[in-house]
Structure 1
Amino acid sequence: MSSSPCPCGSGLAYTACCGRFHAGAQHLSAPTPEALMRSRYSAFALGLHDYLLATWHRDTRPASLDPDPPGLQWLGLEVRRHEMHDADHGTVEFVARSKLGGRAHRLHEVSRFVREDGRWWYRDGDVAKASTQAAQPNRTA
């Protein structure tokens, strides 16, 4: 996947974008809430559950994550807005699209991030009303 486009939709190669945060040896942390959110989307798309748990704030982190359902496809990410509230708190509003069992799904969330000891963490988020629709045949996302 080294020269493949990053799943987060940045237009950069995976290794130059989210891949550098996912690389276990470096433990490079994302420099902004938006970069962390994009890297977490890419981790969802690539099934990197260890990374997701490692970037989740200890106060809200689940003990584990369920395996992805067979056939789940992540189709794209749209960052709608990102805001810094102060030097150590930010939010990112996004829509992530997926497909499972012939049905398209959208996750619309406003995520909260906090910086502690110089590192950004996903804290939690508010999910907008779920949206599911029948996938259109012969249509690419």
Structure 2
Amino acid sequence: MSFVSESPAAPSAVAAAHFAARLSLETDCADVAAAMRADAVDFVLLHVVGSPEAYARRHLPGAVHLRHADMTAERMAAWSADTLFVVYCAGPHCNGADRAALKLARLGRPVKLMIGGITGWEDEGLPFANGEEPGAFAA
């Protein structure tokens, strides 16, 4: 028996609930890029870590720079209450996106974490933007 099968797989209903829950909390770089390519962005993409200078050097196209430390009810009031936020940070070694997601959830805002962050985006060969403005996706 392998370590893979040593613990039996969960019943299908348990697995379905688990993966549905994960998808309600996370998205990935490919899905964000696909929405951008299709001009179907129905979320606000937030670059949640780093200085303004680091953001200007490299960020995801369309991303707004809003550090998790600066997220307040007053600041988030710039968006309607039902706005879906997708947060990302440097990558798997960074918990800034988790901190931002927690803060947004505590503020009652819909939020998903983009797994992989900048590292995942780069691994997918996707384009970056630079400058002080969000920029646009160029396929």
The TM tier, using the shorter chain, reads: under 0.3
Q: Which has the higher contact order (CA 8 A, sep 6+)?
A: 2
Q: Which structure has the larger Rg over C-alpha atoms?
A: 2
- Which structure dedicates a bigger proportion of its chain to strand? 1
- Which structure dedicates a bigger proportion of its chain to helix? 2
TM-score by length of structure 1 reads 0.27
TM-score by length of structure 2 reads 0.27
